[in-house]
C-alpha cells in the first residue's frame, strides 16, 4: 500500500500529513546561547561565510555548498556533531559526542582544517555547485545586521513541506512587521530546467501546495517559519532589530531566481511556458509568480547577489527583460 512517502505526488493525502517543525528544542537553544555549545554559535557569528540553519530537532552549519557540521541530539540523547565525509571525497560519517565545552571547542578548533578539506574537494557531493550559489544568495540577503540588509531577507534554505522542496524562503522587508512570505527556487544550469525538479514540476508543486485543503497547509507553514525566525533572532542569526511579528494573510509568492545563467537562451522558453501553464491552471493567474536574475555570481560577500525590489520582476516584465539582447 502506497504511503505519502511513496505515492505519486498527485495522489498525496494532504489530510493525513504531519510535519515536524524546524525548531530546536529548548535544551538545544539554551546550550547554544549560554551553555557548553556556545563556542559553536560564537563561531557562526564570527564567520559570515558559515550559515546555521534550523532543522527539525537539529541544525546544520552550511559552508561552500555543503554541511560543515550537523548538530543532533540534546533533548533525549547526547549532543552529537556529524560530518558527511562525502564532502571530502570519502564515504561514511565522522561523528563526535559534544558533551562538554571542551568537546565543542575541539570541534570548532578543527573547522579550519575541515574547511580546507572541503575546499580541496569542492565538487564532491551531489548538487553541491548549485547549493553553493544558493548559500551565497542566502548570505547576501541574511540580515544578520540591518546595516547590511537589503530589501529582502532570506531566512531559510532547502525547505521541504509534503515532499515539495523550495531552495529559498524569505520575505520583502517593505511589508514588515507582517511581510508576505516568499518561497524561492534557484536555477543555475540548463539541465535543471526540465524533467524531475524542472520548472514545470516546481509550478505544479507550488500551485498544489497553495490550494491543498483550501490553504490550510500554507497557514501551517507560515506558523512554522515564523516561529523559526523568532528562534533565529534569539540566537543572533537574524538581527534582533528586524521588525517581524509574523507573516501577512496574503498568499505567498513564488520567486524563481537565476544565477550565473544566461536567461536569454532559447532553451529557457519552453520550460517557462510550462511553468506558467501549471501555475495559471491551479491559481487562475500569474500574479504570484516572480523572477530575479543574477547574470554573475560571487560568494555572497558583496552586494552583487543582493535582492533588490526593482530587480524582482513579474511574468511579463521578465519576458521583456529576456528580450533585451535578442
Question: Do residues 106 and 154 share a domain?
Answer: no
The domain of 109 spans: 26-120
Q: Is residue 208 part of a domain?
A: yes
Domain boundary among the residues 120, 155, 176 is at 120
Question: Do residues 203 and 311 share a domain?
Answer: yes
With both helix axes pointing from N to C terminus, report the angle between 101-109 and 38-46 in degrees, rounded to the nearest 10. Answer: 30
Question: Do residues 161 and 310 share a domain?
Answer: yes
Q: Could you state, in chain order, the average pLDDT of each consecutive group of 10 residues for the chain (326 residues)?
A: 86 95 96 98 98 97 96 91 95 96 97 96 84 96 89 97 97 97 94 90 97 97 98 97 96 97 94 98 98 96 96 96 75
Question: Do residues 82 and 159 share a domain?
Answer: no
Domain boundary among the residues 97, 120, 143 is at 120
Q: Is residue 19 part of a domain?
A: no
Question: Do residues 63 and 159 share a domain?
Answer: no
Domain count within the chain: 2
Q: Is residue 87 part of a domain?
A: yes
Question: Do residues 198 and 298 share a domain?
Answer: yes
Q: Is residue 254 part of a domain?
A: yes
Domain boundary among the residues 83, 103, 120 is at 120
Q: Is residue 1 part of a domain?
A: no
* pLDDT of the residue at 326: 45
* pLDDT of the residue at 269: 95
Question: Do residues 136 and 224 share a domain?
Answer: yes
Question: Do residues 74 and 183 share a domain?
Answer: no
Q: List the grid coordinates of 290.
A: 516572480
Question: Do residues 249 and 313 share a domain?
Answer: yes
Q: Is residue 2 part of a domain?
A: no
pTM for the model stands at: 0.95
* pLDDT of the residue at 1: 58
Q: Is residue 51 part of a domain?
A: yes
Residues 6+ apart with CB under 8 A from 293: 257, 258, 263, 311, 318, 321
CA distance 167 to 151: 19
Question: Do residues 161 and 285 share a domain?
Answer: yes
Contact 95, 29 (CB under 8 A): no
CA distance 202 to 251: 17
Question: Do residues 85 and 151 share a domain?
Answer: no
Question: Do residues 269 and 310 share a domain?
Answer: yes
Q: Is residue 7 part of a domain?
A: no
Amino acid at each position: 500500500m502506497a504511503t505519502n512517502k511513496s505515492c505519486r505526488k498527485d495522489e498525496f493525502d494532504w489530510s493525513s500529513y504531519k510535519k515536524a517543525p524546524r525548531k530546536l528544542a529548548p535544551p538545544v537553544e539554551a546550550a547554544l546561547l549560554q551553555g557548553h555549545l556556545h563556542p559553536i554559535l560564537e563561531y557562526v557569528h564570527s564567520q559570515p561565510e558559515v550559515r546555521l540553519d534550523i532543522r527539525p530537532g537539529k541544525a546544520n552549519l552550511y559552508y561552500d555548498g555543503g554541511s560543515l557540521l550537523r548538530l543532533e541530539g540534546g533533548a533525549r540523547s547526547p549532543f552529537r556533531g556529524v560530518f558527511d565525509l562525502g564532502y571530502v571525497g570519502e564515504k561514511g560519517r565522522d561523528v563526535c559526542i559534544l558533551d562538554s565545552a571542551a568537546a565543542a571547542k575541539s570541534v570548532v578548533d578543527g573547522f579550519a582544517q575541515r574547511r580546507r578539506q572541503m575546499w580541496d574537494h569542492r565538487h564532491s557531493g551531489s548538487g553541491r555547485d548549485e547549493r553553493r550559489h544558493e548559500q551565497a544568495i542566502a548570505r547576501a540577503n541574511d540580515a544578520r545586521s540591518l546595516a547590511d540588509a537589503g530589501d529582502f531577507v532570506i531566512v531559510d534554505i532547502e525547505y521541504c513541506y509534503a515532499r515539495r522542496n523550495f531552495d529559498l524562503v524569505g520575505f520583502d522587508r517593505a511589508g514588515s512587521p507582517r511581510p508576505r512570505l516568499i518561497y524561492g527556487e534557484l536555477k543555475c544550469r540548463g539541465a535543471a530546467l526540465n524533467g524531475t525538479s524542472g520548472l514545470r514540476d516546481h509550478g505544479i508543486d507550488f500551485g498544489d501546495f497553495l490550494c491543498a485543503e483550501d490553504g490550510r497547509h500554507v497557514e501551517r507553514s507560515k506558523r512554522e517559519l515564523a516561529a523559526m525566525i523568532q528562534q533565529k533572532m534569539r540566537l543572533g542569526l537574524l538581527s534582533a532589530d528586524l521588525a517581524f511579528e509574523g507573516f501577512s494573510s496574503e498568499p505567498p509568492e513564488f520567486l524563481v531566481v537565476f544565477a550565473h545563467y544566461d536567461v536569454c537562451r532559447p532553451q529557457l522558453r519552453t520550460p517557462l511556458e510550462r511553468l506558467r501553464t501549471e501555475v495559471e491552471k491551479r491559481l487562475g493567474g500569474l500574479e504570484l509568480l516572480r523572477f530575479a536574475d543574477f547574470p554573475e555570481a560571487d560568494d555572497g560577500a558583496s552586494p552583487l547577489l543582493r535582492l533588490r525590489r526593482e530587480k524582482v520582476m513579474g511574468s511579463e516584465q521578465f519576458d521583456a527583460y529576456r528580450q533585451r539582447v535578442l
